Amino acid sequence: DNLANQIAAGEVVERPASVVKELVENSLDAGADRIQVAIEEGGIRSINVSDNGHGMDREDAVRAFERHATSKIRRERDLFSIRSLGFRGEALPSIASVSRLTLTTSTEEGEAATCVRMEGGKSLSIEDTVRSQGTEVRVEELFFNTPARLKYLKTVNTEVSHVADSIGRIALAHPDVSFLLIHNGRELFRAPGDGKLLHVIHALYGKQVARQALNVTAEDMDFSVKGMIIRPEITRANRSYISTVINGRFIRSIPLVQSVLRAYDTLLPIGRYPIATLSIEMDPKLVDVNVHPAKLEVRLSKEKELCRLIEEEMKQLFRQQVL
């Protein structure tokens, strides 16, 4: 049902950045700690994501393009305690339905690798090949068979900046994974993957900002919050520089952002925002990620408590800074 895939693609695959996000999340779910993303012409010409994750055998590589063939939910109740980033089994079939896609994957060093080629959702070939352990997905000519959607894409620069934003957010959520982003052969971003959030902040915002970063930690029975904040006086940030990560997943949460801003109260200079990254760990049962196909929004069962915890911790931090 290629039509169903193309319809799903309408929700999951809006632009090159959404393809990059889905592919990189798959790499993370596969346990990769080295992920390289190379795009050409803003990703419109090609997107290449390669990882050193656990890879797939031939059978799984073929099955990955069947709709809802996720390997990540074994039992129904897993749906309510999702830890992996993907779980719908929609991304690969959707992307494959609107592009020319080549997947090369191997489960073990020195073992036979598999190469699957797809075009507009149809399988072109399945061959043996060689590669080191991990997976590489190459997506060429995105939207070649859906001209209306192709036309909707913006300039190369706009698409590149969406891809860079997307990689930046994922890197903030995963300081222990090394990322490299290349556009038209030029390196745009590199995160070392040494587990230090400060190094990701450095890579994203530069030395000046990193030097001023303050640690944030807070904990109660339900939540553990770790992160960094950079005071608004020294940044040119806007609201979107406040990023929140729940159980390794970047999410958008207006209440959480507001609790950071409320902590400043009258201290916040007009029109200025802090840079903040908060990584929150909680029992997955307290999070419902199954709200939006792009999985950016979540429902939290103890949102008020979490907001209060963050606000109080920040307030205390700022008080210490002011004194």
**Residues in the site for ligand ADP, rule: CB under 6 A?**
22, 26-27, 29-30, 51, 53-56, 60, 64, 69-72, 86-92, 135
- Tell me how far apart the terminal alpha carbons of the chain are, to the nearest angstrom: 64
Candidates 24-32, 232-240, 254-262, 277-285; binding stretch for Mg ion (CB under 5 A): 24-32
Contact partner at residue 90 from ligand ADP, Mg ion, none, CB < 5 to 8 Å by partner kind? ligand ADP
Instruction: Give the DSSP per-residue string, 261-320.
Output: HHHHGGGS-TT-B-EEEEEEEE-GGGEE-TT-TT----EETTHHHHHHHHHHHHHHHHHH
Q: Tokens 């995105």 — which residue?
A: 142
| Nearest distance in Å: CB 22, Mg ion | 5
Task: Please select the residue that binds Mg ion; options are 26, 36, 105, 107, rule is CB under 5 A.
Answer: 26
Q: At what angle do helices 197-205 and 156-173 cross, to 10 degrees?
A: 160
How far is residue 200's CA from residue 241's CA, in Å, rounded to a whole number?
Answer: 14
Contact partner at residue 311 from ligand ADP, Mg ion, none, CB < 5 to 8 Å by partner kind? none
Task: Please select the residue that binds Mg ion; options are 12, 56, 91, 142, rule is CB under 5 A.
Answer: 91
| Nearest distance in Å: CB 69, ligand ADP | 6
Q: 27-61: buried (b, 16+ CB within 10 Å) or exposed (e) per residue? A: bbbbebeebbbbbbebbbebbbbbbbbbbbbbeeb
| Nearest distance in Å: CB 25, ligand ADP | 7
| Nearest distance in Å: CB 62, ligand ADP | 10
The answer to whether residue 86 forms part of the interface with Mg ion (CB under 5 A) is: yes
Candidates 18-26, 101-109, 123-131, 221-229; binding stretch for Mg ion (CB under 5 A): 18-26
Q: Tokens 């080629």 — which residue?
A: 117
What character string, x for contact with Mg ion (CB under 5 A) and - otherwise, covers 190-209?
--------------------
**Cβ neighbours around 15 below 10 Å, total:** 22
Please give the DSSP secondary-structure letter assigned to residue 61: H
**How many residues of this chain bind Mg ion (CB under 5 A)?**
3
The answer to whether residue 93 forms part of the interface with Mg ion (CB under 5 A) is: no
| Nearest distance in Å: CB 43, Mg ion | 17
Of the pair 39, 91, the CB lying nearest ligand ADP is at: 91
Rounded to 5 degrees, φ, ψ at 296 are -80, -30
Of the pair 116, 216, the CB lying nearest ligand ADP is at: 116
Contact partner at residue 51 from Mg ion, ligand ADP, none, CB < 5 to 8 Å by partner kind? ligand ADP
Of the pair 73, 182, the CB lying nearest ligand ADP is at: 73
The token duo for 251 is 């999410």
Q: 131-152: buried (b, 16+ CB within 10 Å) or exposed (e) per residue? A: bebbbbbbbbbbbebbeebeee
Beta bridge partners of 129: 113
Contact partner at residue 135 from Mg ion, ligand ADP, none, CB < 5 to 8 Å by partner kind? ligand ADP
How far is residue 77's CA from residue 124's CA, in Å, rounded to a whole number?
Answer: 36
| Nearest distance in Å: CB 271, ligand ADP | 40
- Residues of this chain that interact with Mg ion (CB under 5 A) are 26, 86, 91
